[in-house]
């Protein structure tokens, strides 16, 4: 079947929404409670922005010494919102995601009110619901990897996520993937006070000087200073063989509610496959 003829009307889902004056703390609670990675900001039934887990992690660093409770959803309103209507094509949606490096397109009605959203997950699911050409993982995977070791400091891993604009860092030992860290790992439901009190500001300053971390890292998240990657990583990551089928990869992503898979060959890490890589294929 030619997916290019498909309309996104088949894929539209209802998003979780917040108002412009919803606080960042409340938004974080909503993300965790509903087990979603993003919420849409609406005002008078019209979408005006999106907040993702990555946005929250980045904003916490930008705050410096400002209280996190002072930040509201309206602080995340972008200069441009990417929207389509339900009669747009799957390929058009995939091209928009690829061009602007986004994981969500907002679907609006003729009067610009919110109708729903289409995410990378929705597009990737096409490989399960439609009869498409068989594709090997090796064709779509990325081979340029950003990785860390289990003993690397958590702040260093966070710095990699922000510096390279990626959503996950694979933790490897002896060329084998042993864990994975995503932005969700930096958005805990509640920051334990004993952790917040454990970081000595002078130690953080010394750590930053030695490791070359950005100035913004010595603030709201400095409680992470004592911890290493092994303390927060998801262990025993789900992997896919490089010669496996994309359909199997999508099945694993859906089953385990993840957006990326370390790719292995003979148990050794050789790449990574993400939903973004799959969307790029649909955009061609």
User: What pLDDT is stored for residue 275 in this prediction?
Assistant: 95
Question: For residue 89, is pLDDT > 80?
Answer: yes
Residue 248 Cα distances to 102, 128, 252, 271, angstroms: 24, 9, 6, 16
What tens digit of pLDDT does each residue of 23-52 get? 888 888 898 889 888 999 999 999 999 998
CB atoms closer than 10 angstroms to residue 167: 19
Window from 58-72, 81-95, 126-140, 157-171 with minimum mean pLDDT: 58-72
Domains for the chain: give ranges and CATH numbers.
3-129 (3.10.580.10), 137-283 (3.10.580.10)
The tokens describing 71, both together, are 């930040």
Given a cut of 60, whether residue 221 has pLDDT beyond it is no
Residue 210 has pLDDT above 80, yes or no: no
**pLDDT of 86 higher than 60:** yes
Q: Is the confidence at residue 219, as pLDDT, over 60?
A: no
Q: Under the phi-then-psi rule, with left for phi > 0, alpha for psi from -120 to 50, and beta for the rest, what region is 18?
A: beta
pLDDT digit string, tens, across residues 159-176: 898 889 888 999 999 999
Pairwise pLDDT comparison (186 vs 125), residue with the higher score: 125
The band of 232, judged by pLDDT with boundaries at 50, 70 and 90, is confident
How many angstroms separate the CA atoms of 16 and 119, rounded? 13
Residues paired with 54 in a beta bridge: none
- State the pLDDT confidence band at 222, using cuts at 50, 70 and 90: low
- Predicted structure pTM score: 0.78
Q: What is the mean pLDDT of the chain?
A: 83
Q: Within a 10 A sphere around the Cβ of 20, how many other Cβ atoms?
A: 15
Mean pLDDT for the stretch of residues 256-260: 91
Q: What is the Cα–Cα distance from 274 to 151, expressed in whole angstroms?
A: 25
């Amino acid at each position: 079947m030619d997916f290019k003829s498909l309309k996104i009307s088949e894929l539209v889902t209802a998003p979780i929404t917040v108002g412009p004056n919803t606080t960042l703390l409340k938004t974080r609670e909503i993300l965790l409670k509903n087990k979603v990675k993003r919420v849409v900001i609406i005002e008078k039934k019209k979408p005006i922005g999106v907040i993702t887990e990555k946005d929250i992690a980045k904003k916490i660093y930008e705050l410096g010494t400002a209280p996190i409770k002072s930040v509201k959803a309206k602080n995340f309103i972008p200069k441009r919102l990417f929207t389509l209507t339900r009669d747009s094509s799957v390929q058009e949606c995939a091209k928009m995601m690829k061009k602007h490096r986004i994981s969500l397109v907002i679907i609006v009605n003729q009067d610009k009110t919110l109708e729903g959203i289409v995410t990378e997950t929705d597009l990737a699911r096409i490989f399960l619901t439609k009869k498409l050409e068989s594709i090997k993982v090796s064709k779509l995977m990325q081979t340029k990897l950003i990785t860390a070791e289990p003993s690397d400091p958590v702040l260093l891993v966070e710095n990699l996520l922000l510096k390279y604009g990626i959503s996950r860092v694979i933790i490897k030992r002896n060329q084998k993937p042993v864990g994975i860290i995503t932005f969700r790992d930096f958005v805990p439901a509640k920051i334990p006070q004993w952790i917040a009190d454990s970081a000595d500001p002078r130690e953080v300053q010394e750590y930053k000087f030695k490791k070359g971390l950005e100035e913004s890292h010595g603030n709201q998240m400095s409680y992470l200073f004592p911890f290493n990657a092994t303390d927060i990583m998801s262990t025993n990551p789900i992997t896919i063989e490089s010669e496996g089928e994309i359909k199997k990869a999508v099945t694993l992503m859906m089953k385990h509610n993840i957006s990326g898979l370390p790719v292995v060959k003979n148990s050794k890490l050789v790449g990574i496959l993400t939903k973004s890589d799959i969307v790029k294929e649909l955009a061609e």
